[in-house]
Amino acid sequence: MLAVVPPPITVRVPSKVNLHLGVGDLRDDGYHDLSTVFQALSLTDDVTVAVAEDPGVEVHGEGADSVPATQDNLAWRAVRALAEHAGLDADDLKVRVVINKGIPVAGGMAGGSADAAAALVAAAALWRLDIGREELTAVAATIGSDVPFVLHGGTALGTGRGERLVPVLTRHTFHWVLAFDRGGLSTPAVYGELDRLRAEGDPPRLGAVEPLLEALASGDPRRLGGLLGNDLQAASVSLRPALRRTLRAGVEAGALAGIVSGSGPTTAFLCEDADAALRVAAELSGAGVCRTVRVAHGPVPGAKVVSDDTAPRPTTPPD
């Protein structure tokens, strides 16, 4: 008799850029209070979860050598967390997680969090769990601060550690050029550097987020460009001084504004429109200030199933 095995589930998940990232003081639990506006971008990872007798993680694509293919991988931790939430045996997961990366590793664009969000959606579909997106969001928040946002996508205001989300109205597709640095930056190291700089009396903190929310609602990229801000940028530049040159080169190439994405070191440049983004990308790629560039747009949806094969597959029984 043939055994019925569910087909692999592939989920596509976006990257993110922080349009506004206000960082509060260090809390007793080791985190900082944040006030941030996320936007999901069209630069994506694909994550496939499949039934397998040889469980584990495979990583391919952008920066794959720097991503752990072990149980420390955030996507694997997400699958395990969902299994525990659903009452399944998390110590006997007969699944394989295959990650195809387009998002830079340790680049400040939530690449690891994106993979975790995708793994949650894929595993829930593979196991045919009766679980809504809000319940999945609660699981996501236990894995990482950015995981809930990339699960939902769009544009959102995040508070707390960034995991408490309120959707933000946008009336425009915004066009970005992303400059990938030649190495990554550790998020804890960047936050630690910010704490050190503040202890020395520098740098100034971002102001209120409301003007940026109004700019998003207006749909005017020029207005938005003048309001982009990131409290972590000074710390990222302190650790990676060459980012000053990258930020300057992007604006000189014609971008409306440039900003370090999250904890960096990826830099994101807002452009007037799609044609302007292509021109800025071409000039920036020849400036020798980064490893490579990508063009992206946002906002885009969050993690979503993209595999079409939903019928169970019969398999030949063992002899």
The answer to whether 46 is a known catalytic residue is no
Q: Closest Cα to residue 84, out of 139, 7, 6?
A: 139
Strand partners, 3: 315
Q: Is 146 a catalytic residue?
A: yes
DSSP string computed for 38-103: EEEEEEEEEEEEEE-SS-EEEEEETTGGGS--STTSHHHHHHHHHHHHHT--TTS--EEEEEEE-S
CA atoms within a 13 Å half-sphere pointing along the CA-CB vector of 287: 23
Phi (first) and psi of residue 162, to 5 degrees: 110, -5
Instruction: Dihedral sign for Cα 297, 298, 303, 307, please.
Output: negative
Phi/psi for 69 (5° steps) reads -100, 50
User: Counting Cβ atoms within 10 Å, is residue 134 exposed (0-12), middle (13-18) or buried (19+)?
Assistant: exposed
The kind and range of the H/E element at 305 are strand 304-305
- Catalytic pick from 16, 45, 115, 181? 16
Q: Using an 8 Å Cβ cutoff, are 36 and 22 in contact?
A: yes
Cα(186)–Cα(66) distance, rounded to whole angstroms? 12
* Helix residue ranges, H only, the chain: 74-86, 111-126, 133-141, 147-152, 187-199, 210-218, 221-225, 233-239, 243-252, 274-285
Q: Considering 45, 146, 181, 231, which one is annotated as catalytic?
A: 146
- The two beta strands, 56-61 and 95-101, are parallel
Kindly list the catalytic residues.
16, 146
